Structure 1
Amino acid sequence: MAKPDEAEQAELAARRAELAAKYIAPPESRPKTNGRGIHHAALICSDVEQTISFYQGLLGFPLIELVENRDYPGSSHFFFDLGNDTLLGFFDFPGLGLEPAPEGYGNVQHIAISVPPDAHAKLQARLDELEIPYDGPGRGIEESIYLRDPDGIGIELLADKLMWFGGQWLDGRDEPPGHLA
């Protein structure tokens, strides 16, 4: 993927600043959200057992449900517990001959999953031990590990608390982060 040149980057930065000023209200005047959080994201996998081995066996997210997809007979629908009442769901669609999706609009770039610092260190050690390739950790702000699941879905494991991003609380709270404690 081609990256913008310096002039284009400056234009894009100016546009981001304009949009942020227009749409992001100060924390004290933001309306309360109508949402309670993400119940689940539903992704498509090519192999149920391989997906279970990755998310439960490698990453330690327990499989908590595995049923037939009510909309497509023969297809499985299954869920992993990501903590904080958040689920990651998958479907398989046997017989459809699906191919991996190309990178583009409407696709998932990656899923960022917050894990406690001790779990983050253990996961990194396990990836090293098994010689599973990953990028990271760290980009100067948070401790992140980037890897791909068996179907190429980008997964980020970060040792930051929810709502902490870019060195600040996104909800405007005024307290020390303690996010790596």
Structure 2
Amino acid sequence: MSALSSARVGHIHLRVSDLERAIAFYADILGFEVTLRYGDGAAFLAAGNYHHHIGLNTWESLGATPPPPGHTGLYHSAFLYPDRKALADVLARVVAAGIPLDGAADHGVSEAVYLRDPDENGVEIYVDKPIADWPRDADGSLQMFNDPLDVAALLALATPASQN
């Protein structure tokens, strides 16, 4: 096994303009937990028992504006939830917070919803389908697509308390 095949994505680290606003989005809406704060300038958040999956800082960006469209940078970060119900609960909090959706898609291998964080960074929240159900062509190659996702049906799975 090569070193690359055993590598995993450890975390993302984002420059944000308002640390408290960013923490509210990633913790209160998406469900990550703050594991560490570095004064007023940085915070680290995780899903489960890990030091951090998301780093947020204002070291070079306090009060800054988002980068303009059409420039290089982060396209989106993607957060995998364990099942459709967990995704529905997060989506219900997104909707309840009035955060607009950029889109939603059934990719064959996953169901994904796209939105933006308070600093206009793209965010994908998604759930994988069982590997046995992933679409493949005759030679076994993976096939992905971009079909519409029934967002209303997904939201119907949400726990009522997550919609407040």
The reply to whether TM is greater than 0.5 is yes
Which residue of structure 2 aligns with residue 147 of structure 1?
A: 115
36-45 or 87-96: bigger deviation: 87-96
Would the aligned equivalents of 1:110 and 1:153 in 2 still touch at CA under 8 Å?
yes
Residue 114 of structure 1 aligns with which residue?
A: 80
TM-score w.r.t. length of structure 1: 0.60
Among residues 74, 92, 108, which one is paired with 1:125 in the alignment?
92
Say which one has the larger Rg.
1
Identity %: 33
CA contact (8 A) 1:82 1:88 kept: no
TM-score, structure 2 as length reference: 0.65
Letter in 1 for 2:41: S
Matched, 1:53 2:4: no
C-alpha spacing 1:99/1:130, structure 2 compared with 1 (3 Å)? closer
Structure 1: unaligned runs, 5 residues or longer: 1-29, 69-74, 173-181
State the superposition RMSD in angstroms: 3.2
Provide the rounded CA distance (Å) in 2 between the counterparts of 1:134 and 1:116: 21
Q: Which residue of 2 aligns with 1:138?
A: 105
Do the aligned partners of residues 167 and 91 (structure 1) sit closer, same or farther apart at CA in structure 2, a change above 3 Å counting? Answer: farther
Deviation track 1:87-142 (CA, whole Å, cap 9, x = no partner) reads 11111037876332124554000001101222101112222333321144323422
Rounded to whole Å, the distance in 2 between the matches of 1:45 and 1:94 is: 9
Structure 1 residue 32: Cα displacement: 4.6
Kept after mapping to 1: 8 A contact 2:75/2:122:
yes
Equivalenced residues, count: 133
Counterpart CA distance in 1 for 2:17 and 2:34 is 17
State how far apart, in whole Å, the 1-side matches of 2:128 and 2:104 are: 12
Unaligned runs of 5+ in 2: 141-164
